[in-house]
A and B are shown apart, each in its own frame.
Chain A
Amino acid sequence: MKLIFRLVVLYLLFLIQTAVIRPQLDLVVLGLVIFCLHDTLMFSIILGVWCGILLGLVNPLHFGFHIIVLSFIAYACNNIRRFIYKYKSYFIGILIIAILFKYILSLIFLGAQQSFVSWILATLIILLIAIPLENLTVNVFYKQWKMQVTENSY
């Protein structure tokens, strides 16, 4: 059930990213990074593949590329968080690296990309909404887990 909720949230982010907002913001990557920093490795990989499939659907000639990139981001985020995920600044740092990683790989393998200036602009907007969205996600999905840990620790 937890996994389905996460899949639905990422799907909604994909719909918003694809159909509503212009210029396109990497909301899917943002959602993926937030979930992967909190969930298990298996969950993260599934979410990465799911996001890759979704992004591949609107870019059908390059289907498969996003599966590789986003599942790698998911895997890397989940492994990194054990070492450095303590403060919000790390979350922002990981997010920037993830978006930059996707941008560079798209530039290399897909040939065309949005200009660097518009990418910077989109990334800044993403960073602005990242912290509130992360807080919201943690409160909605992980609050119960936090309380359990607190109770157990006492």
Chain B
Amino acid sequence: MAKRIFIFILALGFVIFFLPSKIKLPITKYPRFILLYPLNGINQVLSNLKTHRKDFQYLQELTTQLKIENAQLREKVFKNHEIANSPVLVNSDLVSANIIARDNETGVKFLTIDKSNRNNLAINMPVINVNGVIGKIIETNNNQSIIETALSPGLKISALDQRSRVNGIIEYSDLSNLRFKYAFSESDIQIGDTISTSGLGGIFPRGLVIGIVMRTQLDPTHFFQYVEVKPSVNFNTIDQVFIITSKISLYEEYIPKASQYDDLYNLKAGIPMTPRIR
């Protein structure tokens, strides 16, 4: 009897394991709400031991906002006068949260925080701290939320080199480093360059620091570069994060006026384009 139950459980485990995450996350929502509830209390007890907590939190929040503002201003410096004339948005709405649990394999891939949809958190909201990007929220219930960090293989962030404006995708490389992908071999990327979010993709606002280029080498295909990025955030030591709750972009996106491109886009409505065969 026990053997049959064991086989049934193994089969059930396999089925659950291979379910898509869209189904898995709702399944685990209510058990997590109940079973992880004590973590909030444990966290409160631990946090009460820390003195001057509120001041510290306020200062961290202030620093984070100033960092964002600094990033905005840096972005403006890089842009041409048309973008420089666009309005800079005011500081975003941040919700501070404490990390109450970490995933059991690595401790850095998934973080559970003590804030939830009661605090206006929602799925896909970006999570940052003083030093830069941490990840995004992938699940939230009435008590906790789960963050998928940049060190999780599942998370990919659209990014750019702040100096040379080369675009690419940041993704997991190993448990301490990230990889900046799809930078062409002739792209100007140097060691020490700062990689920040590009704002493409719509989740992360533009200009948030992700990390610093540590190593570049030519891909075996000779088409792309292999760029290793050291994250600006130490994922092992963070205990507090900030969630950006409002949709922000660091400045109004530059939309070119049609008149400037009349020559390039001299298309007339109603006349279909015919392919040219050479």
Within 8 A of B (CB), among A23-39: 23-24, 26, 28
Report B8-19 CB contacts with A as 1/0, cut-off 8 Å: 011011111111
Provide the bound-state CA to CA distance between A137 and B226, in Å: 52
Closest to B153 in A: A111
Q: Are B28 and A56 in contact (CB under 8 A)?
A: yes
Confirm or deny: A132 has a beta carbon within 8 angstroms of a beta carbon on chain B.
no
Residues of B within 8 Å of A60, CB to CB, are 21, 24-25, 28, 32, 110, 138-139, 146
One of A11-19, A86-94, A123-131, A141-149 contacting the partner: A11-19
Pick from A42, A54, A110: contact of B2, CB below 8 A: A42
Provide the bound-state CA to CA distance between A66 and B13, in Å: 8
Provide the bound-state CA to CA distance between A124 and B188, in Å: 46
Provide the bound-state CA to CA distance between A22 and B234, in Å: 14
Contacts between the two chains (Cβ within 8 Å), count? 126
Confirm or deny: A98 has a beta carbon within 8 angstroms of a beta carbon on chain B.
no
Confirm or deny: B72 has a beta carbon within 8 angstroms of a beta carbon on chain A.
no
Pick from B16, B109, B152, B154: contact of A63, CB below 8 A: B16
Confirm or deny: A20 has a beta carbon within 8 angstroms of a beta carbon on chain B.
yes
Q: Are B13 and A75 in contact (CB under 8 A)?
A: no
Closest to B46 in A: A20
Q: Are B107 and A65 in contact (CB under 8 A)?
A: no
Report B34-56 CB contacts with A as 1/0, cut-off 8 Å: 01101100110010000000000
One of B58-66, B96-104, B158-166 contacting the partner: B96-104
Pick from A22, A24, A61, A67: contact of B13, CB below 8 A: A67
Confirm or deny: B183 has a beta carbon within 8 angstroms of a beta carbon on chain A.
no
Provide the bound-state CA to CA distance between A54 and B269, in Å: 60
How many interface residues does chain B have, given as a range? Answer: 35 or more
Report A41-74 CB contacts with B as 1/0, cut-off 8 Å: 1100100110011111111111111111001100
Write the nearest CB–CB distance from A149 to chain B, whole angstroms. Answer: 22
Provide the bound-state CA to CA distance between A106 and B1, in Å: 29
The 7 A-B residue pairs with the shortest CB-CB distance, nearest first, are A64-B16, A64-B17, A68-B13, A67-B13, A41-B2, A59-B103, A18-B101
- Starting from the known contacts A57-B31, A65-B17, 14 additional A-B residue pairs (CB-CB under 8 Å) come to A20-B46, A22-B107, A23-B107, A56-B28, A58-B101, A59-B103, A60-B24, A60-B28, A62-B17, A63-B28, A64-B16, A64-B17, A68-B13, A112-B153
Interface residues of B (CB under 8 A from A): 1-2, 5-6, 9-10, 12-19, 21, 24-25, 27-28, 31-32, 35-36, 38-39, 42-43, 46, 100-107, 109-110, 112, 138-139, 146, 148, 151-154, 172, 174-175, 236
